[in-house]
Amino acid sequence: MMRLTPISNLMARPSFLPPFMFGLLFATFGVILSAKYSSITVDQSALLALKSHITHDPHNFLATNWSTSTSVCSWIGVTCGSRHHRVTALNLSSMDLTGTISSQLGNLSFLASLDIHQNSFHGTLPIELTNLRRMKYLDFGNNSFNGEIPSWFGCFSKLQRLSLYLNNFVGVIPSTLGNLSKLERLGLGGNQISGRIPNSLFKCKELKFLSLGYNSLDGSIPTEIGNLTLLETLALSNNHFKGEIPLVIGNLTSLRFLYLSNNKLTGEIPLVIGNLTSLRELYLFNNKLTGIISCFFYSPFCY
Ligand SMILES: *[C@@H]1O[C@H](CO)[C@@H](O)[C@H](O)[C@H]1NC(C)=O
Ligand SMILES: *[C@@H]1O[C@H](CO)[C@@H](O)[C@H](O)[C@H]1NC(C)=O
Ligand SMILES: *[C@@H]1O[C@H](CO)[C@@H](O)[C@H](O)[C@H]1NC(C)=O
Ligand SMILES: *[C@@H]1O[C@H](CO)[C@@H](O)[C@H](O)[C@H]1NC(C)=O
Ligand SMILES: *[C@@H]1O[C@H](CO)[C@@H](O)[C@H](O)[C@H]1NC(C)=O
Ligand SMILES: *[C@@H]1O[C@H](CO)[C@@H](O)[C@H](O)[C@H]1NC(C)=O
Ligand SMILES: *[C@@H]1O[C@H](CO)[C@@H](O)[C@H](O)[C@H]1NC(C)=O
Ligand SMILES: *[C@@H]1O[C@H](CO)[C@@H](O)[C@H](O)[C@H]1NC(C)=O
């Protein structure tokens, strides 16, 4: 912790300084003080608050390492930016940690990447995280978070990756996710999400990876899926999707992995699937589909 000189000691004007000089000195000190206080010490207390919300750290990753006698920038899992010397990334993945996410984490105002996947974090995500406007990469996968997927995720206008797979999220996919115009990867698989895919999601034109499998989603696969022309992975298996596979699927020429198995899809398998030259894996089993896949074009799984 930074030690602050009690302000009363500073108020007594040293006799050798004329009043205007004292004013200048005090103003200068005030600027330094506020710069210091609004910077790395805030990051330190935010991380210490997170540490205090961790109830089990079986490998003692943080217990001794996250010590106030060293700079937060040398703490395990912490990365600081070279320019502002503030915490820009936090990676506590696969540390077997149990705990909750403290609201103070929202004070890490330079944070652009938060990866805590594969731990036992639980509870709900604090709304204070919306302060993290630089956020590009969020991975909360394989934990035990519950509650609804917060609609305020739509505030992270720079977000490129959002991974919430393998948690206990319930409710619907918030339509605000459609505001994430830079989103490239969205992983919501393995939760208890229900309802339809919101149409707004098809505004996320940069999506390459869309994984919604192992939930309770229903409705049809919307034809707007054809708008996501960069899609490489589309995983919708193990849900309650019904209706036909839309023909526009044939427009997704970058598709490599298409998982639609274990749904209630009906009708003919679209012939256009045979034209998807990048396709590497196609799972359609356990539906009520008819027809065959004809290869009009070279596609490795046809041979
Ligand atoms: C904390 O861990 C980091 C990364 O493993 C290491 O470089 C650093 O020396 C450790 N600090 C202490 C005080 O153990
Ligand atoms: C976090 O660390 C793990 C293990 O080292 C690594 O696989 C993962 O890519 C890192 N996450 C980020 C966002 O860099
Ligand atoms: C940090 O966050 C907490 C909770 O969101 C808040 O009460 C506190 O005032 C914030 N600021 C600092 C400097 O810790
Ligand atoms: C989820 O995490 C557990 C350990 O916490 C691990 O054993 C399991 O393999 C992980 N599952 C996936 C799919 O990563
Ligand atoms: C985000 O999305 C919602 C619903 O799609 C919309 O009402 C809202 O205006 C959008 N913009 C912001 C900045 O949240
Ligand atoms: C899909 O793309 C078409 C044509 O570019 C556009 O008119 C439509 O609004 C888009 N739909 C969504 C949901 O973004
Ligand atoms: C799909 O491609 C066809 C021609 O290749 C085009 O006419 C059609 O508008 C495209 N559909 C969408 C939704 O982009
Ligand atoms: C598949 O591609 C071939 C060759 O480009 C084309 O002749 C054929 O019409 C396409 N078939 C479908 C069903 O889109």
Query: Is 5 within a domain?
Result: no
CA-angle at 169, arms to 189 and 213, nearest 5°: 15
Burial 263-276 (b: 16+ CB within 10 A, else e): bebeeebbebbbbb
Specify the number of domains making up the chain.
1
Beta bridge partners of 121: 99
Centre a 10 Å sphere on the Cβ of residue 252 and count the other Cβ atoms it contains: 23
- Residue 41, in any domain of the structure: yes
Residue 280 located in a structural domain: yes
User: Which ligand neighbours the alpha carbon of 74 most closely?
Assistant: 1
CA 52 to chain centre: 23
Find residue 147's DSSP bridge partners: 169
Q: 112 and 89 in contact (C-beta within 8 Å)?
A: yes
Ligand 3 environment, Cβ below 6 A? 42, 45, 103-104, 106-107, 128
**Tell me, what amino acid is at 274?**
G
Any domain includes 6: no
Predicted confidence at residue 104, as pLDDT, reads 97
**Cα-based torsion angle of the residue sequence 43, 46, 51, 53 in order, rounded to the nearest 10 degrees:** -170
Query: Position of tokens 């005090």?
Result: 26
Ligand 1 site, CB within 6 A:
65, 67, 70, 74-76
Asked if the structure places residue 8 within a domain, the reply is: no
Other Cβ atoms less than 10 A from the Cβ of 242: the count is 15
Pairwise CA distance, residues 293 & 260, whole Å: 15
Ligand nearest to the CA of 161: 2
pTM for the predicted model, two decimal places: 0.85
pLDDT of the residue at 297: 52
- Ligand 2 atom showing the smallest separation from residue 91 Cα: 1
Terminal-to-terminal C-alpha distance of the chain = 65
Cα→Cα distances 56→91, 129, 196, 242, 300, Å: 17, 23, 37, 43, 48
Helix axes 40-52, 19-37, angle to 10 degrees: 40
Whether 76 is covered by a domain: the verdict is yes
Going from the C-alpha of 275 to that of each of 224, 230, 258, 268, the distances in angstroms are 19, 16, 13, 16
Q: Give the C-alpha distances (Å, rounded to integers) separating 228 from 100, 191, 256, 282, 290.
A: 35, 23, 14, 18, 26
Task: Round to whole Å and give the CA distance between 146 and 133.
Answer: 23
* Strand partners for 216: 194
Q: Which ligand is located closest to the Cα atom of residue 142?
A: 4
At residue 243, what are phi and psi to the nearest 5 degrees? 85, -170
In 3D, which of 253, 241, 254, 250 has the Cα closest to residue 286?
241
The bridge status of strand 87-91 relative to strand 78-80 is: antiparallel
For residue 162, the tally of other CB atoms under 10 A from its CB is: 23
Q: What are the CA-CA distances from residue 73 to residues 61, 69, 193 (Å)?
A: 15, 12, 37
Asked if the structure places residue 170 within a domain, the reply is: yes
Q: What's 155's domain CATH number?
A: 3.80.10.10
Nearest residue (CA) to ligand 7, atom 2: 251
Q: Tell me how far apart the alpha carbons of residues 58 and 48 are, in angstroms, rounded to a whole number.
A: 18
Q: Which atom of ligand 5 is nearest to the CA of 198?
A: 5
- Check if 79 has its Cβ closer than 6 Å to any atom of ligand 2: no
* Nearest CA, atom 13, ligand 7: 226
Q: Does any ligand 7 atom lie closer than 6 A to the CB of residue 80?
A: no
> CB within 6 Å of ligand 6 — which residues?
199, 202-203, 224, 227
Q: Which residues of the chain have pLDDT under 50?
A: 1-37, 301-303
118 lines ligand 2 (CB under 6 A): no
The boundaries of the domain holding residue 287 are 21-302
Is residue 276 situated within a structural domain? yes
**What Å distances lie between residue 72 and 67, 75, 87, 251, CA to CA?**
8, 5, 8, 48
Which residue's alpha carbon is nearest to atom 5 within ligand 6? 227
